[in-house]
Amino acid sequence: MSVCGQYLCMQWVHFIYSRTMKNSLLPLYSWKKRSAVSRSQSLYSLAESLELKKRDMVTALQAQTGILLEEAEMEVEFSISQLCDWAAHCDKEGGGVQSLPQSGSALSLPEPIGVVGVVLPDRSPLLSLVSLLGATLAVGNAVIMIPSEKYPLPALEFIQVLQSSAVPEGVVSIITGSRDQLTKALANHSVIQAIWYWGSQVGCQYLQYTCCNPLKSLWLHPEEAGDEKGKEVGRDWALFHPSLMEEMWRQATLWKSVWIPTA
């Protein structure tokens, strides 16, 4: 591609992102004000919608990744289970009053970060998407997701699942394209408050260098391209330990505390 072509491509990427950011802000305000019970019901409806689209999702996974039918069915089942787990987790962290070492106490409450940008890994393209999506939505964030550049079809199929669920329009945005170009757009946009990144070591270094102005919360996971047989490497998303759920919850929340002095 020529220099002019690359410039026009980046201009188009920034245009799409600007439209997406504006469309994410208004739904974010209403979504973050919803009660934990309301968010939980929306996530349960998302799990039900995925159950209804199970056959289509299995077909998309098998067609693009080349995995066995049984493996594709298992990934969809795990994805449904993940959504149910996050729906049940919505009201489990409500904050509370904590005593202080010297005097008084502190009222601590978890709040959503805002708009979270997620650059997804290649491994388990549906299960990784659903796991990270559930973490961000359960707290009350809006999310912009960049699917695997190698396996985008499951994420595109998942858009229909979102449209048939009770999750408000605009809370979740899925944009496919060049991972590097879209990551740059995420890093340089002021609306994004946090970036979760699965990708190259170079990409991690770029985000660490770029996301200091404006400051963004970063959760970085450098991954290798694959092993000698071409199999994707990285986290096994089917082995979802409770400690990982706790870590996702911490990354998706912003704790605010108010000091209450003693009389």
Lowest mean pLDDT among 30-34, 117-121, 138-142: 30-34
Within 8 A by CB and 6+ apart from 6, the residues are none
Structure tokens at 162: 């979102």
Residue pLDDT, tens place only, 141-174: 999 999 999 999 999 999 999 999 999 988 999 9
Q: Would the pLDDT of 102 be above 80?
A: no
Query: So where are the chain's domains?
Result: 3-89+108-254
Dihedral sign of CA atoms 180, 208, 137, 31 in order: negative
Residue pLDDT, tens place only, 1-55: 433 333 333 444 444 455 555 555 667 778 888 999 999 999 999 999 999 999 9
- Got the DSSP string for 27-78? HHHHHHTS-HHHHHHHHHHHHHHHHHTHHHHHHHHHHHH---HHHHHHHHHH
pLDDT winner (highest mean) among 11-15, 224-228, 248-252: 248-252
For residue 152, the 8-state DSSP code is: -
Identify the CATH number of the domain defined by range 3-89+108-254: 3.40.605.10
- Angle at the Cα of 219 (from 217 to 222), degrees rounded to 5? 140
132-to-5, 6, 13, 157, 202 alpha-carbon distances in Å: 33, 31, 23, 17, 22
How many other CB atoms are there within 10 angstroms of residue 255's CB atom? 11
Rounded Cα distance between 139 and 137, Å, is: 5
Structure tokens at 207: 């985000």
For residue 174, the 8-state DSSP code is: E
Lowest mean pLDDT among 6-10, 215-219, 230-234: 6-10
pTM, whole model, 2 decimals? 0.85
Quick check: 163 and 193 in contact, CB under 8 A?
no
